Structure formats: C-alpha cells, structure tokens
C-alpha cells in the first residue's frame, strides 16, 4: 500500500517513528513536525494523535526507539550467543552492520548537541555500548586502560564508518572487519619492548 493510500487506522505507531527518524536523518530535528510527517505519510494530522500526545511525546519515543533497537537489542542478540569473546566481537560488528545501527548515529548526535533530553539519552547509550564492548575485551584477557582503549577504538570506528567511508563489496568489507578485529585482539607487547630497551 502506498503512503498516500494509508488511512489513520491503518498506520501503526512504528510507521510514524520510522518516518520521523528518516526525516531526522535527511533534514535534521527541525524538520520533524507533525504536519511534515503527516504530509510524508499521506494522512491527516489526526492520525498522529492516535499514537502520540504531542510532538514532545514523539521525540521521546524516537530516542527510546534508537536506544532500544540499535543498542539494547543488538547487545541482547550477541549476549545470548554461546561463543568465545573474539567471535562475539565479530558477531557484534556484524549485527551493527546488519541492523544499520551506525547509519542513524550521526543525526541523533547532531540532535543531542542542542537538546538536553537527547544529550542525556546519548550519554546513556554511549556508556551502555562502551561497557559491553569493554566487557568482551576483558573476557578476551585485556585489562584496565588496555581494554578501555580497544573498546573505544572499535566503537568509534563502527559507529562512524558510514560517515567516512564508501561501502566496499561485501567480501572486502568482511575481510576488513576480520583484519581490524585481528589488530585489536593482538596482545600489547609495549611493556616487554620497553623492558628490552632498558636492559640493552
């Protein structure tokens, strides 16, 4: 069914959320208005109020949807897998990409620069993500700042990748992921090298 043919009763809450998030991605939070969304969906504004009390309610729902779908649900999907830590890290990266989690990160972060509510949710999401990724590196026998640094590098890369790089063919992307994780899972021999220099 085309958007213009939808009625207020056939539209679900998720239709409004998906349209609002896509509008945020395309044009920024200022473009997310009830009138604009209704026009995009091809319905009257009355349909909106079947699902949300007002625009503020919609904005809160968008933030909650972003947090749950592209953070909590992905963590739960990977957490349930009975795999060694290194393989769980690979599964996490694949889930991030399969769910296109990073595709919407930049617009939500841009929103958070000017909105206290969005900023608070962003901070919560960042802590949640980093804590989980760090726990996987710790399970792979990395400790302290070493585990923290590896977790940050992986998180920074995966969530910013779509904004910086044009996607390659799937086979090349898979090889890049494997090599990147291979580097991050290499033991840190810095202390051993420093010790060798001291004893030279």
All domains in the chain, ordered by first residue: 1-52 (1.10.10.60), 62-187 (1.10.357)
CA 190/CA 193 separation, integer angstroms = 5
pLDDT at 167 over 90: no
d(Cα 4, Cα 91) in Å, to the nearest integer? 39
Residues 6+ apart with CB under 8 A from 87: 81
Is pLDDT larger for residue 185 or for residue 189?
185
Q: How confident is the model at residue 199 (pLDDT cuts 50, 70, 90)?
A: low
Place of tokens 């051993």: 192
Report which of residues 165 and 96 the model is more confident about. 96
In whole angstroms, what is the distance from residue 144 CA to residue 134 CA?
9
**pLDDT above 60 (res 4):** no
Say yes or no to pLDDT of 147 above 80.
yes
Per cent of the chain over pLDDT 70 is 90
Question: Measuring CA to CA, which residue among 66, 148, 146 is closest to residue 107?
Answer: 66
Collect all residues with Cβ–Cβ distance below 8 Å to 75 and sequence separation of at least 6. Answer: 128, 129, 132
pLDDT at 158 over 80: yes
Residue 191 has pLDDT above 70, yes or no: no
> Could you tell me which of 89, 114, 111, 93 has the C-alpha nearest to residue 102?
93
Dist. CA 122–CA 67, nearest whole Å: 8
CA-wise closest residue to 36 among 27, 50, 107: 27
Angle 16-77-110 (CA atoms, 0-180°, nearest 5)? 45
Q: How confident is the model at residue 1 (pLDDT cuts 50, 70, 90)?
A: very low
Arithmetic mean of pLDDT, 88-96? 96
**Average pLDDT of the segment spanning 128-155:** 97
Q: Is the pLDDT of residue 118 over 80?
A: yes
pLDDT band for position 188 (cuts 50, 70, 90): confident
Question: How many Å separate Cα 134 from the centre of its chain?
Answer: 16
Treating both helix axes as pointing N-terminal to C-terminal, what angle do 144-164 and 105-112 enclose, rounded to 10 degrees?
Answer: 100
Cβ neighbors of 175 (< 8 A, separation 6 or more) are: none
Lowest mean pLDDT among 74-78, 85-89, 98-102, 114-118: 98-102
Question: What pLDDT score was predicted for residue 2?
Answer: 43
């Amino acid at each position: 069914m085309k958007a213009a043919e939808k009625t207020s009763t056939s539209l679900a809450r998720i239709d409004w959320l998906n349209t609002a998030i896509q509008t945020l991605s395309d044009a920024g939070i200022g473009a997310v208005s009830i009138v604009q969304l209704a026009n995009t969906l091809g319905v009257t504004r009355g349909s909106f109020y079947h699902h949300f009390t007002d625009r503020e309610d919609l904005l809160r729902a968008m933030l909650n949807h972003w947090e749950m779908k592209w953070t909590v649900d992905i963590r739960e999907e990977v957490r349930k897998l009975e795999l060694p830590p290194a393989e769980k890290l690979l599964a996490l990266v694949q889930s991030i990409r399969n769910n296109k989690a990073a595709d919407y990160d930049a617009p939500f972060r841009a929103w958070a620069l000017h909105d206290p509510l969005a900023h608070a949710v962003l901070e919560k999401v960042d802590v949640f993500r980093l804590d989980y990724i760090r726990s996987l590196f710790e399970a792979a026998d990395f400790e302290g700042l070493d585990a923290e640094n590896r977790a940050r590098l992986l998180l920074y890369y995966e969530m910013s990748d779509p904004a910086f790089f044009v996607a390659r063919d799937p086979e090349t992307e898979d090889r890049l992921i494997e090599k990147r994780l291979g580097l991050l899972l290499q033991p840190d021999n810095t202390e051993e090298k420093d010790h060798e220099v001291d004893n030279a």
